[in-house]
Structure 1
Amino acid sequence: MRSLLSMSAALVVALSLTACGTMTNEAAVSAEGFPTRTADGLLVGPNGMTVYTFAKDGKNSGMSECYDACATNWPPLTVATGTLATKEYPLIIRMDGTRQVTLEGQPLYYFAKDAKRGDTTGNGLAEGAWKINRR
């Protein structure tokens, strides 16, 4: 029994260390569901995927103009009900009641065709209406 417990503890430690790999151009995962920045300043969601702003969303309008087919291609970055806004990332309430994260008055979205972390294939689409945020 003691050896089984020792082996189990060793396995847990080994798996924990494996999960702690270094991230070079990836952002740390945000526990609250808010964006973070990669080492090169790209704004990414808690899943590490690039987030975008949409020029048709009026700055500080408190609403999104991206629904239906638009939201299928450009899923909004949302947080769980009960998550509180932060000073840097205020929230808006979408028509379906979900809470969408904003930055500098602009709602944030993912692009469905970005396949991996760091992809920015949506940048500049729709005559420049979709933009990444990099500092």
Structure 2
Amino acid sequence: MTRHRYLHGLCMSLALALASPLTHAQSAPSADARGILHDAGGMTLYTYDSDTPGRSLCSGPCAKVWPPVMAAAGAVAHGPLDLAVRDDGSHQWAVHGHPLYGYVADVNPGQASGDGVNGRWHIAHLTP
């Protein structure tokens, strides 16, 4: 019975995470002492090899697992941080033209379990 409740709780948590990606507008990402980019909550950010410079190719189911780091209306690019355009015309934060994403499996600040997923996802760094 305990094992069943644990598995049920785990499945429900994952379903909620996948159903509600963090697509709300966020302030510009910042870097830690190692140059790793993170959001205001300290969550690690990632880039996707399949994206093209300035344009996100991760949408639909992809964006549920890898929520884009959305930019607020009127956000202004500065330094290596710029803005990428999404299919719906909205903007997300990017670094050196590479759109930035979170990862739903990262649950604690500084966690980086998305690095290397499918050989296409990588921790975002301030310097190329």
Tell me the TM-score normalised to structure 1 length. 0.68
Q: Which amino acid aligns with 1:87?
A: G
Q: Which amino acid aligns with 2:29?
A: P
What SS class does the counterpart of residue 84 from structure 2 fall into? strand
What SS class does the counterpart of residue 67 from structure 2 fall into? coil
What SS class does the counterpart of residue 81 from structure 2 fall into? coil
Q: How does 1:15-34 map to 2 (within 5 A)?
A: 33-34=27-28
What SS class does the counterpart of residue 122 from structure 2 fall into? strand
**Could you list the runs of 5+ residues in structure 2 that have no partner in the other structure?**
1-25
Q: Which has the higher strand share?
A: 2
How far does the alpha carbon of each residue in 1:88-112 deviate from its partner, in whole angstroms, 9 at most, with x for none? 2111221223211111121110001
Q: Which amino acid aligns with 1:70?
A: C
**Could you list the runs of 5+ residues in structure 1 that have no partner in the other structure?**
1-31
How far does the alpha carbon of each residue in 1:18-72 deviate from its partner, in whole angstroms, 9 at most, with x for none? xxxxxxxxxxxxxx711111233321112210000000012x2x21110000000
Q: How does 1:1-135 map to 2 (within 5 A)?
A: 33-58=27-52, 60=53, 62-126=54-118, 128-134=119-125
Q: Take 1:130 and 1:113, find their aligned partners in 2: how far apart are those partners?
A: 13
After superposing on structure 2, the runs of 4+ consecutive aligned residues of structure 1 that deviate more than 3 Å are none
How far does the alpha carbon of each residue in 1:113-134 deviate from its partner, in whole angstroms, 9 at most, with x for none? 10010100000001x1000034
Q: Take 1:36 and 1:73, find their aligned partners in 2: how far apart are those partners?
A: 22
Please tell me whether Structure 1 or Structure 2 has the larger radius of gyration of its CA atoms: 1
The answer to whether the 8 Å contact 2:27/2:71 transfers is yes
Q: CA RMSD in A?
A: 1.6
Q: Take 1:84 and 1:99, find their aligned partners in 2: how far apart are those partners?
A: 11
The answer to whether the 8 Å contact 2:84/2:98 transfers is no
